[in-house]
Structure 1
Amino acid sequence: IEPDKILEKFKEQKVNEEEAIKKLIPELSKIQGLSDKKAKIEIFEGKEGMKTVMSRILKDNPQEFFVYGSSGVGYKLLPFYLEHWHKQRIKQKMKMKVIYNQSAESKERVEEGPSLKLSEIKFFPAPHHSPSGTIIYGDKVLITLWNLEFPLAISIESKEITENYKDYFEVIWRVAKK
């Protein structure tokens, strides 16, 4: 190759590469958009995991959140932490709607009262007991298992999944008893 042609060849190759990259950008943007729509899932284990997932609610500071399947068992697992957590929730003016299981534990919990300020409370229409519960806020759904031996929480961050869970909550709320 003649020395004069080397620079010309290099410029031509650079133009071709730039055109190829420009053609790839829309495809890469589509792929990135798809990955943004995927649900983010995290698992939290043990007492410390439960504290972490609950503290995230305070950090995210939603104006309102929704809980169903709650039985008050968490208070046996983390009594002082949850009492402090509710005080902080009330201080942050976070409202909650709760559908408790019909159980002696949940009725006792509701009667205790002070930590349930800024709360609307109902009960499942039929007797029901389960150590698991669901918390819905923002774009997150938390599925909690307040088991004394092995507490566990699964956090799902997805707008679509959260909307489905909110719809489900509203259906149950309409038939739940005060």
Structure 2
Amino acid sequence: MKGLSELQNIGLTKGEVKIYEALLELGETTRTELAKKSGISPSKIYDVANRLLEKGIITSVKKNGIIHFSPADPSRINDYLDKKEEELLEDKKSVKELLPMLLSKYNNTKEKSDVEVFYGWEGLRTAYDDIIKTLESGDEGYVFGASLGQNSKQADLFFSQYYEKVKRAGFKVKIIFNEDVRGNNDRTKYYTISKKHEVRYLHQETLAEVNIYDNTVLLVLLLKNPLVIRISSKEAYDSYKKYFDSLWKQAKK
């Protein structure tokens, strides 16, 4: 059976739950008795109780100059949640109105930042998702140094999911795998069976993969905990693209 501590999940603090629970057991009571029962310091009772009063979960009345607190009908908790829901909808509306301005500021900042670093598999996903968001059908991306990685099973899973996104996006890829990847169907099958993409292999031992697309370069270290450096620069793009073209001539089908 769930206890009253579950009320913390709807926004009540631990202290508020203690006072509410004490009032349910005591009924109408004073600050002194409430402090004894709840374990909340008498000096803090009014602050915590006032928050519950604002939520409509308890009530108060002054008798002979002394404030008495009582629990409100528990169904008032639903009223409190309804009010929170209304406030959340208003907040969402406000954020929606602010979003164009926030995105504009974010994009301006992003344009000034030439280099970004991403860590771990989630960071890798974030970096590769940018390729999916950026390239469209008819566009082309270039990759060299594609390796098995230090954690090949995790990498196989990651890239199988990424390939599905590439397929839906519809852009073309020219990719140079390391020679030792040639026999790994999990990693190469998507590109080799598609007439849209071009695949070659090169004898090199490196965990550093390079993705080149839309004036952007991703330097990817497929370590057990991947590291990605994203460079947004036309000069970097042009330089790495020339290097790719040179490697493409050396690579074998």
Same fold judged by TM-score > 0.5? yes
Amino acid at match of 2:243: Y
Going from structure 1 to structure 2, the CA distance change for 1:123 and 1:39 (only over 3 Å counts) comes to: farther
Name the stretch that deviates more: 158-167 or 107-116: 107-116
2:101 alignment counterpart: none
Q: Does 1:43 align with 2:121?
A: no
1:115 alignment counterpart: 190
Amino acid at match of 1:81: F
Within the candidate set 214, 220, 228, 1:138 is matched to 214
Q: Secondary structure in 2 aligned to 1:49?
A: helix
CA distance in 2 between counterparts of 1:122 and 1:164 reads: 20
CA distance in 2 between counterparts of 1:89 and 1:42 reads: 22
Q: Secondary structure in 1 aligned to 2:148?
A: coil
CA distance in 1 between counterparts of 2:133 and 2:148 reads: 22
Larger Rg: 2
Amino acid at match of 2:218: L
Q: TM-score, normalised by structure 2?
A: 0.50
2:235 alignment counterpart: 160
Kept after mapping to 1: 8 A contact 2:209/2:219: yes
Root-mean-square deviation (CA, aligned residues, Å) is 2.4
CA distance in 1 between counterparts of 2:111 and 2:188 reads: 40
Deviation of 1:90 after TM superposition, in Å, equals 1.2
Q: Secondary structure in 2 aligned to 1:129?
A: coil
CA distance in 1 between counterparts of 2:189 and 2:179 reads: 20
1:1-178 correspondence runs (5 A): 40-62=114-136, 63-73=139-149, 75-103=152-180, 106-110=181-185, 113-116=188-191, 117=194, 118-124=196-202, 127-148=203-224, 150-178=225-253
Amino acid at match of 2:206: S
Amino acid at match of 2:172: K
CA distance in 2 between counterparts of 1:122 and 1:81 reads: 21
Deviation of 1:129 after TM superposition, in Å, equals 1.6
Amino acid at match of 2:201: F
Going from structure 1 to structure 2, the CA distance change for 1:94 and 1:174 (only over 3 Å counts) comes to: same
* Identity across matched positions, percent: 28
Amino acid at match of 2:183: E
1:9 alignment counterpart: none
Name the stretch that deviates more: 106-115 or 38-47: 106-115
Which digits, 9 at most, give the CA deviation of each residue in 1:142-173, with x for residues without a partner?
Answer: 0000011x210000000011001001100111
Going from structure 1 to structure 2, the CA distance change for 1:111 and 1:68 (only over 3 Å counts) comes to: same
Amino acid at match of 2:184: R
The total of aligned residue pairs comes to 139
Name the stretch that deviates more: 48-57 or 81-90: 81-90
Going from structure 1 to structure 2, the CA distance change for 1:90 and 1:41 (only over 3 Å counts) comes to: same
Deviation of 1:113 after TM superposition, in Å, equals 4.9
CA distance in 2 between counterparts of 1:160 and 1:112 reads: 30
Deviation of 1:37 after TM superposition, in Å, equals 9.2
Amino acid at match of 1:166: K
CA distance in 2 between counterparts of 1:154 and 1:160 reads: 16
| Structure 2 stretches lacking a partner, 5+ long | 1-109
CA distance in 2 between counterparts of 1:86 and 1:162 reads: 23
